[in-house]
Amino acid sequence: MALQTSGLLFVVLLSCTAGIQLDGNGYTGVLFAINPSIPEDPALLQQIKNMIQDASVVLHGAVEDRFYFKEVTILVPANWTKGNYSRAKTETYEKANVIIDEPNKSYGDEPYTLQYGQCGDQGQYIHLTPDFLLDDHFIKVYGKRGKVFVHEWGHLRWGLYDEYSEEQPFYRSSDGKGTLEATRCSKGIKGRFCVMSGNTCSPCKNDPTTGLPTSDCTFLPSQDTSVKESIMSFQSLDHVTKFCSDETHNAEAPNRQNQMCGNRAALDVILKSSVDAGTPQLSTPISKQNTTIKFVQRKRRVVCLTLDVSGSMMGPRLALLRQAASLFLRTTVEDTAVVGIVQFSSSPSILKTLTVIDDGIFHKSADSIDSNALIDAFASLATSDGNLTQQTIQLESAGKRTTDWFNGTFSVDRTVGKDTVITIVYEASMPKVHITSPSGESFNHSHFNHDTQIRTLSLKVQGTAKTGEWHYSLFNQGPSAQSMAITVTSRAASAEVPPITVRAHMNQKSADGSKAMVVYAAVTQKGLPVILANVTATLESDTGHKEELLLLDNGAGADAFRHDGIYSRYFTRMKSGRYSLKVRVQNQGSAMLSAHKHSGALYIPGYVENGNVVLNPPKPPVSQQPVEVGSFTRTATGESFVVELPPGSTGPPAFPPSKITDLRATLEGENITITWTAPGESYDQGTASRYHIGWSEDLALLRSNFNDSHLVDPWELKPQEVGSTEQYSFLPHNLSMTNGTTIFVAVLAENANSLRSDISNIEPVVKFVPAPPPPVEEESTNVVAIAVGVSVAVLVIASAVGGFIYWKKR
């Protein structure tokens, strides 16, 4: 076993698959996993099988006979006992591409895909519920299950985005008339605008200011057509079986696909920019029989620790390894796991029985205790079968080299507190320890178990740890500086309340400097985004290079969506070396659970069939109100990654500003006002040098040749610091905007090295002149006529009365 390191390296061999592979034109390695909270049901397994087989045939036809599902594995829970399932080998719940679980509170039973990368980047997983798979009612509102799965596969595998929009369901086209259109692809899909009330459909009304339908208006697509596009828009329509191509794509629609993918067609992204780009067509037909499906079950996890005890590990490194391995075995690994240990020097030897597994996760750690990197790496091996309430959660991980005090705090929130363990490791002499709970209870070194051999102090808090802020103080009692570190782990306080969890990872495992890497941290509570938290990433290499990045959830730069609980940032100041990744999350009261949602299948409220409106039941409501989560702290460690810059590189690569993805444009009188989030000098770091603005009545020209558009030089606009809100107004010269005129606007940023960003999302501006109010002359004439009539009547009556009086006097 020939592994060479300049620092401390360990390899953990555990259940992990190589992921989805393309074998010829067939996908293999596709993994479904069922959450253990789902009751055992043979009908559910059969419906999953049916869906996969149907989806394989649909997929093959949707992408010009290129792809199908060849081998799919379904991992059933360990607590299922009725079926005859094969033994799982490398399959685990955490590695699943498709999860069958209870409804997410933001989505209900709506199928969705967790994706937060850029256009063309693969997503994380598809989420389906048992009710969606078992209740045929959902076929009417979402479409046939196989086609719905292909819609979600577009998100997961190819990084496509939805071609409908719940935020902007209507827009006015650039046909010169400002024709009202529903946001969709393709425009060939016809339908009816409708305000639904019970079982009736009434005509929509338009907002007099914008000219767009009011918020209660819905587009009902027609089933009476042969249009085949697009699966990313209306997968529920029987005749829709294709992805939009260049010929059928609706580039003007204000949807996520156009915003994220530069107005490109879905098929163009699949064939040119996805992980499967360049795949040739398959000449033979595909049927359901071409798909192999197997059911497997894992009874317990098998973990193998492979530890380096060679000469390079002597001294502090070996002591660190013993401390971290001991902590992992005592507090992190689940009770039912089987653990094997292999040590290697010049050759490997078995310390504990080892089950041979064929893949591993690598973690790189620093050499010093105060970095706590090795303990973090072991803690990151905590795995889950989908039952988050049994997962070990790391609340704190910090260290310091000092001659005196090391102080800090950590929070125990209401979602955790069970099996809370506080562990302190030190380098030379036992420190003085003082821990204070939120209730004022104090703990010192006498309350801890002390292992002098591995220099570790450990305290298991009895019962459920008190909710609130805990304070710790460690004092170095030795004659010289030493490193000390503290780690706090816990589990869910209740089986009914899932804990807040953090998952950290890079967008790729290696880099050569040709493009920046992205750091991601997903902060969630069983799929619900936790927003407005403070998230910091530390990236440290074996050569001593260390970077700290404040991760953002602002929908700009590396972050795809604002307030989706995914915090991200570009890593640009890279140097050659193997890096570790650690993320720390804190909340001092502002964080909350969000109902944010995107990348799901569209619920169709009704159809037009044979000229008649057929309504579906209203979509069940889901919670939309943010919920405060209280103070909490978390730490998480991602896999290590490698940077290998070209030979002779003297510093970090030069990168352009990041693409602006949140451009917005409005028409104010004759002026166009645009706003966007400022990018940086190098992607989302620093400050850009200048902006370039372009506009055109031709969207295709603006997109393909920005410099040939009408350029605006905002020389007086000095770019602000990255993340700031920019605003600029201009008057489009040599253009007379009349009612229905549409122009398109885009922005790009430039840095001091004259490197330009990609063109921003393209925003339309439509001139809308409200219809004049109905004329009042007719009403005035009527009033005058009435007045004249009344006057005449009065005169007639007066004359009659006068005549009568005159007659009486006679």
On whether the CB atoms of residues 177 and 83 are closer than 8 A, the answer is no
Which of 199-208, 370-379, 508-517, 658-667 shows the lowest per-residue confidence on average (mean pLDDT)?
370-379
| 446 and 312 co-located in one domain | yes
Mean pLDDT of 518-536: 96
| 531 and 388 co-located in one domain | no
272-288 pLDDT, tens digit per residue, is 999 999 999 988 889 99
Mean pLDDT of 514-522: 95
Q: Look at residue 579 and tell me if it is in a domain.
A: yes
pLDDT score at 361: 45
Please tell me the total count of domains within the chain. 5
- Does the pLDDT value for residue 367 go beyond 90? no
Q: Using pLDDT thresholds of 50, 70 and 90, give the confidence band for residue 331.
A: low
Residues 6 or more apart whose Cβ sits within 8 Å of residue 96:
31, 32, 33, 75, 125
| 154 and 280 co-located in one domain | yes
Mean pLDDT of 150-161: 98
| 420 and 483 co-located in one domain | yes
| 304 and 292 co-located in one domain | no
74-126 pLDDT, tens digit per residue, is 999 999 998 899 999 889 999 999 999 999 988 999 999 999 999 999 999 99
| 719 and 808 co-located in one domain | no
90-102 pLDDT, tens digit per residue, is 899 999 999 999 9
| 350 and 469 co-located in one domain | yes
Which residues are designated catalytic? 152
| 788 and 740 co-located in one domain | no
Q: Look at residue 705 and tell me if it is in a domain.
A: yes
Q: Look at residue 810 and tell me if it is in a domain.
A: yes
Looking at residue 438, what DSSP letter applies?
A: T
653 to 513, 524, 574, 688, 690: CA distances (angstroms): 6, 33, 7, 16, 20
| 317 and 398 co-located in one domain | yes
Which residue in the block uniquely carries the two structure tokens 């704190």? Answer: 396
- Does the pLDDT value for residue 788 go beyond 50? no
Mean pLDDT of 560-586: 95
- Alpha helices (H) along 123-237: 130-134, 137-142, 145-158
Mean pLDDT of 737-759: 95
Structure tokens at 764: 């339309």
pLDDT score at 364: 45
pLDDT score at 375: 57
Q: Using pLDDT thresholds of 50, 70 and 90, give the confidence band for residue 726.
A: very high
Q: Which CATH number is 332's domain given? A: 2.60.120.1300
Mean pLDDT of 777-782: 48
Q: What is the rounded CA–CA span in Å between residue 378 and residue 385? A: 18
| 292 and 360 co-located in one domain | no
Q: Which residue has the higher pLDDT, 663 or 341?
A: 663
Q: Look at residue 216 and tell me if it is in a domain.
A: no
- Does the pLDDT value for residue 354 go beyond 50? no
Nearest 5°: phi and psi at 388? -65, -20
| 347 and 304 co-located in one domain | yes
Q: Which CATH number is 732's domain given? A: 2.60.40.10
Q: Using pLDDT thresholds of 50, 70 and 90, give the confidence band for residue 334.
A: low
| 404 and 553 co-located in one domain | no
Q: Which domain holds residue 526?
A: 500-591+629-643
Which residue in the block uniquely carries the two structure tokens 């002779």? Answer: 648
pLDDT score at 341: 73
pLDDT score at 625: 73
- Does the pLDDT value for residue 583 go beyond 60? yes
**Which of 222, 168, 217, 213 lies closest to 191 in space, CA to CA?**
222
Q: Which CATH number is 556's domain given? A: 2.60.40.1930
Structure tokens at 499: 């804990």
224-248 pLDDT, tens digit per residue, is 889 999 999 999 999 999 999 999 9
Q: Using pLDDT thresholds of 50, 70 and 90, give the confidence band for residue 774.
A: low
Q: Look at residue 221 and tell me if it is in a domain.
A: no
Q: What is the rounded CA–CA span in Å between residue 761 and residue 568? A: 20
Mean pLDDT of 192-216: 91
Nearest 5°: phi and psi at 307? -115, 130
pLDDT score at 313: 59
Last-in-domain residue among 461, 476, 492 = 492
297 DSSP β-pair partners = 76, 87
Average pLDDT of the chain, as a whole number: 87
Q: What is the rounded CA–CA span in Å between residue 103 and residue 106? A: 8
Q: Using pLDDT thresholds of 50, 70 and 90, give the confidence band for residue 374.
A: low
- Does the pLDDT value for residue 2 go beyond 60? no
Mean pLDDT of 160-188: 94
pLDDT score at 283: 84
- Does the pLDDT value for residue 785 go beyond 90? no
Helix axes 145-158, 42-62, angle to 10 degrees: 70
pLDDT score at 10: 41
Q: Look at residue 227 and tell me if it is in a domain.
A: no
Last-in-domain residue among 492, 521, 545 = 492
Structure tokens at 239: 């005749």
pLDDT score at 89: 87
Mean pLDDT of 312-323: 64
753-762 pLDDT, tens digit per residue, is 999 999 999 9
599-634 pLDDT, tens digit per residue, is 899 999 999 998 899 999 888 887 767 788 889 999
Mean pLDDT of 24-36: 97
- Does the pLDDT value for residue 310 go beyond 90? no
Q: Look at residue 238 and tell me if it is in a domain.
A: no
Distance linking the first and last C-alpha atoms of the chain = 140
382 to 149, 192, 328, 329, 490: CA distances (angstroms): 30, 52, 9, 11, 12
Last-in-domain residue among 492, 511, 529 = 492
Q: Look at residue 607 and tell me if it is in a domain.
A: no
Please enumerate, as own/partner, the contacts of 129-133 that have beta carbons within 8 Å and a separation of 24 or more: 129/100, 129/101, 129/102, 129/103, 130/38, 130/41, 130/44, 130/100, 130/102, 131/103, 133/44, 133/47, 133/48, 133/51, 133/100
